[in-house]
Amino acid sequence: MPDPRRARVSDHATIVECVHQWWGDSRTPEQARELSLLLPKLFLQFFSGTSLVLEDESGIRAFLVGFYSADNETEAYVHFVGVDPTLRGQGAARRLYTTFFQRAAEAGRTEVRAITSPGNAGSIAFHRAMGFTLEAGDRVVDGLSLHSDYDGPGQDRVCFYRRIGRGESAFATSGWL
């Protein structure tokens, strides 16, 4: 598999189609379409330079949509990551995050944030494996610190935080953190 490449606005339609397909098994088609609404074209129009795609001869196999805060000079944010189910567990998302960390650190960013739903155990385990800590929320359920109503009524979230910096590649690729 080649190195991740910078995303392009022309990837948008394919990425939306990937979400429909990759989540087609675990969700209804309607739910998969709803999920893809988290990826309107604006993310590729305005943040393709900080978003990444992993592709092979068959096309896009994984992607990361992320950006650097416009409100401060320290934070970077991963909005959405997706991996083809047939490629999961083989380090694709680790490669995307590692590249994102390296580029963000080179651009002077010192911290990365991301969120997920409390029920997304795979995402929580993945972010922990990538060295993220859970930011303290307002209540603890099943050992998880939750931020109640974070994205609106009933939309609780788990919030991840990780510092990045010099030497990022050595830490991130060896899995020390």
Asked if 88 and 26 count as a contact pair (C-beta separation under 8 A), the reply is no
Distance CA(105)–CA(163), nearest Å, equals 10
The residue from 27, 33, 75, 80 that contacts ligand COA (CB under 6 A) is: 80
CB of 108 to ligand COA, least distance (A): 25
**133 contacts ligand COA (rule: CB under 6 A):** no
What is the residue-wise DSSP string for 113-145?
EEEE-TT-HHHHHHHHHTT-EEPP-SEEETTEE
Rank residues 19 and 105 by Cβ distance to ligand COA and give the closer one: 19
What letter represents residue 6's amino acid? R
Rank residues 73 and 128 by Cβ distance to ligand COA and give the closer one: 128
**169 contacts ligand COA (rule: CB under 6 A):** no
Rank residues 116 and 133 by Cβ distance to ligand COA and give the closer one: 116
Distance CA(10)–CA(132), nearest Å, equals 31
The residue from 14, 110, 116, 169 that contacts ligand COA (CB under 6 A) is: 116
CB of 102 to ligand COA, least distance (A): 15
**126 contacts ligand COA (rule: CB under 6 A):** yes
**123 contacts ligand COA (rule: CB under 6 A):** yes
**64 contacts ligand COA (rule: CB under 6 A):** no
The residue from 92, 146, 158, 164 that contacts ligand COA (CB under 6 A) is: 92
Asked if 54 and 96 count as a contact pair (C-beta separation under 8 A), the reply is yes
Asked if 70 and 57 count as a contact pair (C-beta separation under 8 A), the reply is no
What letter represents residue 28's amino acid? T
